[in-house]
Structure 1
Amino acid sequence: METTVERLARRFTAHDTARGLGAVEQWTLQVLKISEETGEAAQAVIGARGTNPRKAPGSWDEVHAEVADVVITALVTLKRMRPDDAEEYLRHQLALKTANFLPDPTTPTGDAPAADRPGAPPGNLG
């Protein structure tokens, strides 16, 4: 069954291919699209906090919508870059990142993840 993300990825790839763009150019532009959407989310936060005196205050609902746009764009980007295994790759990456932040429930001692151990550098998902 074809997912919405797959359909979007195929549509954008077909559009860019028809414009004569190669795969690496398409991927580059798609990654830049993530940055654009992230900027819009940041602008929405500024609006929700009312810190720009030149604009009317926004809402956290607008922030939520912009964050959803970031996530959707990122999923489409990964699918365009890895059409055959994006879901499996994402699951693997999530497992790797999770191991750094959540204790392993199967460990009897409940060892802290690497990011929480003394001397470990502060971590993030990126």
Structure 2
Amino acid sequence: MTASWDTITALADRFDAADAELGLPPEESHLLQVLKIGEEFGEAAQAVIGAKGTNPRKGRSHSWEDVHDEVCDVVITGMVALARMRPDASAYFTAQLALKAAKFLPPPAADTAT
């Protein structure tokens, strides 16, 4: 997962630099990045509608592979947003994942081998 976070951090740094060149303060960059998650979610939702063919004007305009691609865009955009807001994004994500997973998954079995 480290290589993925290295790439996410590089993307975050690139977007931070671009926003700094535009004179955007970090808080505004963070706000815009979070809004970008919403934009990407909208594209994923459109892809689902297209894959199901529920828009009578467009029919089946997307495949499930398109949906998968769009969901990846949502996840990547969210990870970049977190990396832009937190220098410890990877560790924070890991801790949050453990907290959320604990609500739904049984605790790991105790090691009884001695």
Q: Which structure carries more relative contact order (alpha carbon 8 Å, separation 6+)?
A: 2
Question: What residue identity is the alignment partner of 1:76?
Answer: V
Unaligned 5+ segments in structure 1 are 108-126
Q: TM-score, normalised by structure 2?
A: 0.88
Deviation at 1:55, TM superposition (A): 1.2
Higher helix proportion:
2
Q: Percent identity?
A: 59
Mapping of 1:80-95 within 5 angstroms?
Answer: 80-82=84-86, 84-95=87-98
SS in 2 for 1:3: helix
Q: Distance in 1 between matches of 2:56 and 2:63?
A: 15
1:59 to 2:58 alignment: no
What residue number does 1:123 align with? none
- Aligned residue pairs total 107
Q: TM-score, normalised by structure 1?
A: 0.80
Unaligned 5+ segments in structure 2 are none
1:43 to 2:46 alignment: yes
1:28 to 2:31 alignment: yes
Q: Distance in 1 between matches of 2:89 and 2:35?
A: 19
Moved over 3 A (4+): none
